[in-house]
Amino acid sequence: MPPARPRRLPPTVLALDEIDEGSTRLEFDVEVEQLGLEDTDIVLTAPVSVQLTVGRTMHMYTVRGRLQTSVGGSCCRCLLPAAAALETEIRFLLQRKEASDDELEALADQDDVEIVDPGTKEVDLVERLRDAVVLELPMRLYCKMDCKGLCPQCGQDLNVGDCSCADNVVDPRWEVLAQLKS
């Protein structure tokens, strides 16, 4: 009988017993769909490439990771497609041990330390990865740093050429005079 094939885990899952003592490098890509991001105007346009370094001492794991992907959307000034690189990090300490309720409570709002039960075999990092990406999502994209945007009056793309709106704007001081006369 052939030996049972090891179960294939998603790449975001750390199989705690399979990590050697010392330092281990792990590299994997996470598909955008796997992150379960909410719909936003700015979206990820490539899988997230993750490079992890896991340092293990007995039941203590220090996890450091670099995340790289790219984002796309519309330029906030001219509305043409725009893209940018996104790079961020995760870093936390994972301990596999018995913990008191007090201890767990004290760590509840601490993001960089996590305690799991002694019997835990697998820890999924997907939420941490998602949170790190969401925090780093830009609020605005620019097609280029010096995008001139659209004319607010006629909508002409000012990167392509000037419009004549500026010439027709009446100097407000003259407008006051005109009102006084009438």
The binding site for Zn ion (CB under 5 A) comprises 75, 77-78, 143, 147, 151, 153-154, 156, 163, 165
If the CB atoms of residues 10 and 155 are measured against Zn ion, the closer one turns out to be 155
Helix (H, G, I), strand (E, B) or coil at 177: helix
In the complex, minimum distance from the CB of residue 143 to Zn ion, in angstroms, rounded to a whole number: 3
If the CB atoms of residues 10 and 81 are measured against Zn ion, the closer one turns out to be 81
Q: Encode burial over 35-70: b for 16+ CB neighbours within 10 A, e otherwise.
A: beeeeeebebebbbebebebebeeeebebebebebe
Bridge partners (DSSP) of residue 87 are 68
Bridge partners (DSSP) of residue 68 are 49, 87
If the CB atoms of residues 78 and 125 are measured against Zn ion, the closer one turns out to be 78
- Is the CA virtual torsion 83, 52, 63, 18 positive or negative? positive
What are the structure tokens assigned to 95, written together?
């301990």
Containing H/E element for 161? none
In the complex, minimum distance from the CB of residue 172 to Zn ion, in angstroms, rounded to a whole number: 18
In the complex, minimum distance from the CB of residue 75 to Zn ion, in angstroms, rounded to a whole number: 3
If the CB atoms of residues 68 and 159 are measured against Zn ion, the closer one turns out to be 159
In the complex, minimum distance from the CB of residue 145 to Zn ion, in angstroms, rounded to a whole number: 10
In the complex, minimum distance from the CB of residue 169 to Zn ion, in angstroms, rounded to a whole number: 10
Residue 13 CB partners (closer than 8 Å, separation 6+): 122, 123, 124, 125
If the CB atoms of residues 65 and 73 are measured against Zn ion, the closer one turns out to be 73
